[in-house]
Amino acid sequence: MDEVILETRNITKVFPETIANKDISFKLRKGEIHALLGENGAGKTTLMNILYGIYLPTSGDILIKGKKVIIKNPLDAIRLGIGMIHQHFMLVDTLTVLENIILGLKEYGFVIDKKAVKKRLKEIENLYSLKVEPDVKVWQTAVGEQQKIEIIKVLFRGADILILDEPTAVLTPQETQSLFKILRKMKEDGKSIIFITHKLEEVMQIADTITVLRKGRLIKTLPKSETTKSQLAELMVGKTQTLDFSRKRPKSNEEILKIENLTVHSDKSLKSLKGVSLSVFKGEILGIAGISGNGQKELVQTVVGLKKAVQGKVVFNGIDITNKPPRYIAQAGINYIPADRLAMGVAPNLSTIDNAIMRRYYRFPLSKRGIMNYRKALAYTMMMAKAYKIKLDNPFAPIKLLSGGNMQKLILAREILENPKLLIASYPTRGLDIASTQFFRQKLIDIANKGKTIILVSEDLDEVLSLSDRIAVMYEGRIVGILNAKEADKNRLGLMMAGVKT
Amino acid sequence: MFYFEKRQQTPGYLKALIPIISLLLGLFIGALAILITGINPLLVYKGLFLNAFGSWYAFSETLVAAVPLILITSGLIVVFRMNVWNIGAYGQYIMGAIFSSYFALFASNGLSKPVMLTVMVIASMVGGAIWALIPTLLKIFWEVNEVITTLLLNYIALYILKFLMYGPWKNPSSYGFPLSKTFPDTAILPIIFKGTRLTIAIIFALLAVLVVWFLIKKSKFGYEVRVIGDNPLAARYAGISVNRNIIIGMAISGALAGLAGMTEVSGIVHYLQVKIGADYGYTSIIVAWIAYLDPLITVLASVLFGGLASGGYSIQITMRVSYGIVGLIESITLFSLVGAQIFLNYRIRWKNGSS
Ligand SMILES: Nc1ncnc2c1ncn2[C@@H]1O[C@H](COP(=O)(O)OP(=O)(O)OP(=O)(O)O)[C@@H](O)[C@H]1O
Ligand SMILES: [Mg+2]
């Protein structure tokens, strides 16, 4: 247990505009689960990317089992027994699960030896109770499933050191628990795990050792037994604020959104909508709970015009917006925070400016008679970064270089600043650190208190329960129940989400 | 052993170096081919260079070839930036030539030169745009891949041209050659530099570059093109009509290729025939890539490839080197350019034993 398997000595990583890591000396022991904490942009992903050979450190050394190594690319890392699951999954959508798992491995031949692969999959399944369908295409699988595929991919390559960058951000509580089971089993097998998260409960539950980063520096490494949640929170950000969740909004009977018998086909057979009806009232926060892949995405995307309804009607503020184009619906006053920031929320290779103005580039003063005013666009972006505390080193650099949480903050800010009558937020706090999560939750409440309406889609039941006035639960393309927040609790919701009648 | 490492950002010097190396590689392979025919490649290249840039007249001929390249490439840039692969400039160029020739041959009565030329310019742009919109609509409504359709339409355009040249539009006194009557004087583009073949088409070309530059860098349309090119899903999410922009882009692209066809028949050939230099449509694809889809660099790259084309013609006559050499150099250049994309996105590293 005490043997140090991986060590960094004074690792520093300098990017053109920022020092992402400064003098980081960090030790990972054999058979431990080591949690890495820190606010958005603290440098967690960067440090892990260095260990995985995606970046070379500007200075400093990496030692594996006491021997100095140079990790120049992920292949080196894999050879050294390091596996990484990235903050944003790296699966190829159009390939099958099996093809993804062996992608880049030479051992299974140019024409894939499927039998051998499946045999090995079976071994892994038996060892860790990790089961996947090898022959379906990745785009047909849910996020929780993709997480498993990523883990199997790493195990397949025989990793002893496993890095997980915010693995639970996209998981339901149940999925998180089964992930933890797998991690514990791996730990028993003598594997070492580095685990990045923003959720302190998870840290207290699973970690043996905890390291806190702040502004690129290692603040402290300490055993879990000697710390508490509040101490960790303080180490991370200094001080935490308390939330004012008080509902200052009166109950209203004004129906702002009316969905009638909405049916949507989708390429993924199970996940279509099967005649959903729902009324949303002005000024309320309506939570939509459900395990991802049960129609939540189809529901909200149809409302905002990104998916076609084959049947049914959507009426917003008295106007029929069924199957209207996205721009029309946005101008009617509905804004949308998509679940997957990289797939839909941003154009990753364009600058932060280009991404920040996505919702208003066509309006004065950002453009006038078809001509853009990029000076105004820059000013708007800087204002946004300042007002919403986005760590933005260079607004002209591609947005993909922002840290995951900061990219999410920019999307949130962009949509909120449109001041919509109805804001549809899918997993809004995914990947945000504690302070930012609180900041944006407070923002959502303020918005509702001002008489605007919010639909909140989330798997995070704590979030749904603490923010919503009512909660609709979706299961297999239907709304299986709507509860008042007062009468809802985690247990009951969990059962409904799993399709159990209550 | 070497291996690749993914880059986050491409350094500027590499972006400058890659097109140059690609072109040098093209010239090198071309030299080997010339060597096989028993001629000294250095002499050929010297001849090629002198015939392209060695005198004012030689340079003016280079510009003559650069004009259609600039026109076509400016248009291609717009659609390539949206990842729409218009391979059909060849056919759009031919259609532009045919549409404008129609007015020159059959509707020139009583029209003054400015009116006539304006009509021809508009006709050529409409012709090219129509030819580009057919595959666009097929793409949008039936999801037919535009690479295949634009390519097929090139052949159809060529056959239409051949049909006209051997049939209805053939000049009865052309001794069986497939060409039309000569255009009336009112349908011929005026020369701007005496003693050269440079017409006011060069002004069209520069205007096209400026307009496209402005569209891409300054306009709302250009912003939308950028978002579509990077992430079409995000574009839809932002309320951008992807189809509308692709239609506009293809119309611009086709119109400019059509205009290039018009400047060739009206400014250089003065009648319609089967050989009207439609190959510019293919060369432009290379020019667009070598210029990194940047309108201003396009001018430079077009002059370079214009020089290759006009120098190539001259050495064909004076040194008996096949013009095919130029095609070879062009294709090797494109080949290495495409291959070099990997260096833009990855870094090569050499491995030393232990790691
Ligand atoms: N390739 C890069 N080029 C320039 N700057 C970068 C690059 N990668 C990261 N950065 C910057 O380094 C800092 C640290 O980013 P990093 O992704 O490591 O943060 P993080 O701790 O993982 O945050 P989060 O919790 O939001 O994921 C950020 O300011 C980010 O903008
Ligand atoms: Mg990160």
- Sorted by where each starts, the structural domains of chain A and their CATH numbers stand as 4-236 (3.40.50.300), 255-333+420-502 (3.40.50.300), 343-418 (no CATH)
| Shortest alpha-carbon distance between residue B223 and chain A (Å) | 8
| Shortest alpha-carbon distance between residue A38 and chain B (Å) | 24
The helix (run of H) or strand (run of E) holding residue B22 is helix B12-36
Of A79, A359, A371, Cβ closest to residue B238:
A359
Interval B306-333 mean pLDDT: 82
- Model pLDDT for residues B181-226, shown as the tens digit of each residue: 999 999 999 999 989 999 999 999 999 999 999 999 999 999 999 9
Q: Write down the pLDDT at residue A92.
A: 79
* Ligand 1: residue whose CA is nearest its atom 7: A401
Q: Write down the pLDDT at residue A348.
A: 93
- Packing angle, helices A229-237 and A434-449, rounded to 10: 90
* Ligand 1: residue whose CA is nearest its atom 12: A20
- Contact at CB, A348 and B230, closer than 8 angstroms: yes
CB of A21 sitting under 6 A from ligand 1: no
* Ligand 1: residue whose CA is nearest its atom 2: A401
- Contact at CB, A326 and B355, closer than 8 angstroms: no
| Ligand closest in space to the Cα of A407 | 1
Of A71, A328, A344, Cβ closest to residue B237:
A344
Closest CA to A455 of A301, A318, A264, A340: A301
Closest CA to B319 of B49, B32, B28: B49
Phi, psi dihedrals of residue A266, rounded to the nearest 5°: -140, 165
Residue B22 amino acid letter? S
* pLDDT, one tens digit for every residue, chain A (502 residues): 578 999 999 999 999 889 999 999 999 999 999 999 999 999 999 999 999 999 999 999 999 999 999 998 888 898 899 999 887 777 877 788 888 888 777 666 666 677 888 888 888 888 777 778 888 887 777 777 788 888 888 888 888 999 999 888 777 777 788 889 889 988 998 999 999 999 888 999 999 999 999 999 999 999 988 888 888 888 877 665 556 566 667 777 889 999 999 998 866 555 478 889 999 999 999 999 988 778 888 899 999 999 999 899 999 999 999 999 999 999 999 999 998 888 899 999 999 999 999 999 999 999 999 999 999 999 999 999 999 999 999 999 999 999 999 999 999 999 999 999 999 999 999 889 988 998 899 999 999 999 999 999 987 888 888 899 999 999 888 999 999 988 888 888 888 888 877 6
Interval B81-97 mean pLDDT: 96
- Contact at CB, A367 and B220, closer than 8 angstroms: yes
Contact residues for A468 (Cβ-Cβ < 8 A; gap 6+): A285, A286, A287, A456, A485
> Partners of A351 in the beta sheet?
A398
Contact residues for A451 (Cβ-Cβ < 8 A; gap 6+): A249, A282, A283
Question: Quick one: which atom of ligand 1 is closest to the CA of A55?
Answer: 1
> Partners of A274 in the beta sheet?
A263
Q: Where are the alpha helices (DSSP H) in A133-228?
A: 143-156, 173-188, 200-206
CA angle B316, B322, B324 (to 5 degrees): 120
Candidates A353, A360, A361, A368: best to mutate against B (most CBs of B within 10 A) is A361
Distance B281 CA to ligand 1 centre (A): 44
Q: Write down the pLDDT at residue B30.
A: 84
CB of A395 sitting under 6 A from ligand 1: no
DSSP three-state, residue B204: helix
Interval B81-96 mean pLDDT: 96
The C-alpha atoms of residue B47 and residue B314 are separated, in whole angstroms, by 8
Are the CB atoms for A87 and A147 separated by under 8 Å? no
Q: Write down the pLDDT at residue A128.
A: 78
- Contact at CB, A372 and B6, closer than 8 angstroms: no
Closest CA to A412 of A307, A316, A471, A339: A339
CB of A18 sitting under 6 A from ligand 1: yes
Burial of B38 (0-12, 13-18, 19+ CB in 10 A): exposed
Interface pTM (ipTM) of the complex? 0.86
Q: Write down the pLDDT at residue B351.
A: 45
Task: Show the tokens assigned to A250.
Answer: 């009166």
Phi, psi dihedrals of residue A96, rounded to the nearest 5°: -75, 170
CB of A403 sitting under 6 A from ligand 1: yes
Q: Write down the pLDDT at residue B17.
A: 83
The C-alpha atoms of residue A362 and residue A411 are separated, in whole angstroms, by 18
* Ligand 1: residue whose CA is nearest its atom 29: A41
The C-alpha atoms of residue A368 and residue A259 are separated, in whole angstroms, by 36
Residue A144 amino acid letter? G
Task: Choose between A90 and B271: higher pLDDT.
Answer: B271
Are the CB atoms for A171 and A147 separated by under 8 Å? yes
Task: Show the tokens assigned to B62.
Answer: 């280079």
Residue reference for tokens 């409504």: B141
- Residues in B whose CB is inside 8 Å of some CB of A read 3-6, 8-9, 218-223, 226-227, 230-231, 233-241, 349, 355
The C-alpha atoms of residue A166 and residue A310 are separated, in whole angstroms, by 37
Q: Write down the pLDDT at residue B355.
A: 33
DSSP B263-314: HIIIIIISS-BS-S-TTHHHHHHHHHHHTTT-HHHHHHHHHHHHHHHHHHHH
- Contact at CB, A350 and B349, closer than 8 angstroms: no
Lowest mean pLDDT among A160-174, A240-254, B17-31, B263-277: A240-254
What's the predicted TM-score (pTM) here? Answer: 0.88
Of B8, B239, B355, Cβ closest to residue A330:
B239
Could you tell me how far CA A284 lies from the centroid of its own chain? Answer: 25
Residue reference for tokens 């509702």: A448
- Contact at CB, B239 and A69, closer than 8 angstroms: no
Question: Quick one: which atom of ligand 1 is closest to the CA of A406?
Answer: 26
Interval B315-331 mean pLDDT: 80
Give me the residue spans of the domains in chain B: 67-291
The helix (run of H) or strand (run of E) holding residue B91 is helix B89-106
The C-alpha atoms of residue B69 and residue B162 are separated, in whole angstroms, by 23
